[in-house]
Structure 1
Amino acid sequence: MTITENAEQAPADAAAPARTGLLQRRWMRFALQRGGRLLLSLWVLVTAAFLMIHLVPGDPIRASLGPTATPELIEQTRRNLGFDAPLWEQYLRFLTGIFTGELGTSIQFRLPVADVIGDRLPATLALGVAGFVVAVLIAIPVGALVAVATRRGRNRGVELGFASSSVVIGTIPDFLLGVALVWIFGVTLRWLPVAGEDGLASYVMPVVALAAGPAAILARIVRVELLAALEADYVRTARSKRLEPTRVVLRHALPNAVTASLTLGGLLLGSMVAGTVLVENVFAWPGIGSTVTGAILGKDYQLVQGIVLVYGVGVLLANTVVDVILAVLDPRSTILEGAR
């Protein structure tokens, strides 16, 4: 190796640790920003969930016990639930209870709120995760195929059909689609069970009702992002090397399109978590979505408070996980760039 080559290699070798240190600092800023934002959002959520009971017009204890409750029973229940303490003391007790799992007692079930939620949360998680996975597995290949087929104005009929059908499917409320599925496949054809969680067959209609709308919306985004990626300079470079068209799409264009679409996927995951409330009620699903409806009707405010808290934490964590996945898949993305 010549002296000139050594001189050229030395600055490059010296720059490598500097680049590594810069990337580590950006990751640290990114982690601190996302962690701080998550903690602030969790505090706002917890405070809103606590104030929910105290901002309800009227007396929640009297409303939950019914009009026939005696004054002595109302006061005893108020003391048992800790509602006779000052507001700041109740707030501190509520914050402590979140870390210890003490979310109060359900008046409707006569059980701790944490136990009621713990018994029904697995069914809701199973339904929500299955719906999200199905939506992603449908949206990515469909959006990619339509993007390739309609690139540069080709196959206008396919583009029009995809746009029309995705808009229609994306705007149908999930509970209305669920009712239609029950009528067709449960009542008329009797192919699938209409209620409850009993085997894989019972998942089909709730998962379809939950995933259809988000899959249609996500497929449109994947198509738009892939069309933009197919016209990018790096894709033209890959084509100039005479790579196979399939390899160009799968290895170069699609990963970038999917990475950009994951941002919307996180928002859709949050909406799907909230959508389980209506879907569970349509199919009598034994999750916390159907439980919160009964708690609202029964004025079981502490149970409603706990379920709202669980739903809110789930949405916040889902969005944070998506941000982290995006940063891992594309460290040069605007997420890390914004952490400069």
Structure 2
Amino acid sequence: MAVLLVASFAMIHLIPGDPVRAALGPTAPAALVQQRRADLGLDDALPVQFGRYLKEVFTGRFGTSFISRQPVDQIIGTRLVNTLELAAVATALALLIAIPLGMLLAVRTENGRHRGSELTFTAVTGAVAAVPEFLLGVGLVVVFAVALHWLPPAGRAGPDSYVLPAVALAAGPAAVLARMVRVETLRELGKDYVRMARAKRLPALRLYARHLLPNTLTAALTVGGMVLASLIAGTVIVENVFAWPGLGSKITESVVSKDYPVAQAVILIYGAFVLTVNLLVDVALAALDPRSEIGRR
């Protein structure tokens, strides 16, 4: 967390340009610019500014926007829910696609069977994972919003407005995670407990859902946590493509306008998102591991 605080402060102050001049405009008198800099504390030494930044963070206020003069916590509060909703929908979509698809392909291609299915799965998931979010988002808008008029092209105005940004955000992580799940499922299918369960003619649903799934996810989620963390970071790009009123579009606005307090707060929140995802993955791994205290409950 300490590294994140220092990084969020340093990244913004390394951006060239004067935030006061950006806020007041190029024709503002030099005296007014100087007075505004003094009022905002930008003339203070960087250690002093960093100390003030830490105080604001730990009090939960985050300071005041240079541009709108609104408290940063109010600005973030109106957008945080929108980003969390989009990220939650995209994460659920990625998991609902990746886990069943990966396990299904593993069972189908076990022992070298259905080589065509394996090659198709590898080619398609590799291609989807390689497409950048912004390019996929633009393609989805062109096809489903402009050409077919099935879905809205941008904004947040109802359940159907979640579809395109959620798909653009979830497609890449779902493809990568599906490949991981398939590899781990194939590894588990070769173990003794699976052969014994099949020898006992255990029902397929019970074998795959109760025995195979937890063991597969224990290994896949170790790397899958990084995939889901990248999904959270991807909201910055996707929100700008779809004009989604969340933190991702706000951080772009604040960096362009050099609105230090807003940009620092949003960067800090995104870093906290990634740390939280990694923590949740660790908890999930402990819950799925029967040897752990959580898994035995």
Superposed pair shares fold, TM > 0.5: yes
How far 1:61 moved relative to its partner?
Answer: 3.2
- Within-5 A mapping of 1:101-116: 101-116=60-75
Q: Who is 2:220 aligned against?
A: 261
Q: Distance in 2 between matches of 1:296 and 1:53?
A: 8
- State the alpha-carbon separation in 2 of the partners of residues 100 and 273 from structure 1: 25
Cα RMSD after superposing both structures: 1.8
- Tell me which moved more, 266-275 or 232-241: 232-241
> Is residue 141 from structure 1 mapped to residue 103 from structure 2 by the alignment?
no
Write the distance in 1 (CA, Å) between the matches of 2:74 and 2:226.
Answer: 29
**Are 1:182 and 2:148 counterparts?**
no
- Secondary structure of 2:42's partner? coil
What's the TM-score, normalizing by structure 1?
A: 0.81
- Are residues 199 and 75 of structure 1, via their aligned partners in 2, closer, same or farther at CA, if it must alter by over 3 Å? same
Counterpart selection for 2:185 from 219, 226, 230: 226
Residue 288 (1) aligns with residue 251 (2): no
Residue 241 of structure 1 is matched in structure 2 by: 200
Q: 1:60, 1:196 → 2: CA distance?
A: 28
Q: What is residue 111 of structure 2 aligned with on the other side?
A: 152
Aligned to 2:261, which of 290, 296, 302?
Answer: 302
CA distance in 1, matches of 2:138, 2:231: 17
Cα distance per residue 1:260-282 (max 9 Å; x no partner): 11222211221111111111111
Q: Within 2, Cα distance between the matches of 1:195 and 1:180?
A: 13
| 1:70 is aligned to 2:29 | yes
Q: Which amino acid aligns with 1:97?
A: E
Kept in 1, the 8 Å contact 2:144–2:150? The answer is yes
Deviation at 1:285, TM superposition (A): 0.6
Describe the shift of the 1:120–1:86 C-alpha distance in structure 2 as closer, same or farther (beyond 3 A). same
**How much does 1:75 deviate?**
2.6
State the shift of 1:259 in Å. Answer: 2.0
Tell me the percent identity.
Answer: 55
**1:46-67 alpha-carbon deviations (Å, 9 max, x no partner):** 0111223433345443344332
Task: Confirm or deny: 8 A CA contact 1:230 1:249 kept in the other structure.
Answer: no
Superposition deviation, residue 73 in structure 1: 2.0
Gaps of 5+ in 2: none
Q: Matched residues in 2 for 1:147 and 1:52: separation?
A: 44
2:281 corresponds to 1:319: no
Q: Deviations over 1:227-276 (max 9, x none)?
A: 00011122223223332233222221121102211222211221111111
Are positions 1:213 and 2:172 aligned together? yes
Q: 2:226, 2:23 → 1: CA distance?
A: 35
Q: CA deviation at 1:84?
A: 3.1
Matched, 1:165 2:124: yes
Aligned AA (2:49): Q
Q: Answer yes or no: is the 8 Å Cα contact 1:178–1:206 preserved in 2.
A: yes
Deviations for 1:283-313, whole angstroms, at most 9, x for unmatched residues? 1111111112222222222221111111111
* Residue identity in the other structure for 2:11: M
Residue in structure 2 matching 1:79, options 31, 34, 38:
38
Q: Return the letter of the residue paired with 1:234.
A: Y
The answer to whether the 8 Å contact 2:137/2:165 transfers is yes
Do the aligned residues in 2 keep the contact of 1:106 with 1:303 (CA within 8 Å)?
Answer: yes
CA distance in 1, matches of 2:16, 2:145: 41
> Per the alignment, in what secondary structure is the counterpart of residue 244 of structure 2?
coil
Residue deviations 1:8-45 (CA, integer Å, cap 9, x gap) = xxxxxxxxxxxxxxxxxxxxxxxxxxxxxxxxxx1101
Question: 1:143·1:222 contact (CA, 8 Å) conserved in 2?
Answer: yes
2: distance between equivalents of 1:190 and 1:326? Answer: 42
For the residue of structure 2 that corresponds to 1:293, the secondary structure is: helix
Shift of the 188–63 alpha-carbon distance from structure 1 to 2, 3 Å rule, reads same
Which of the residues 55, 68, 71 maps onto 1:96?
55
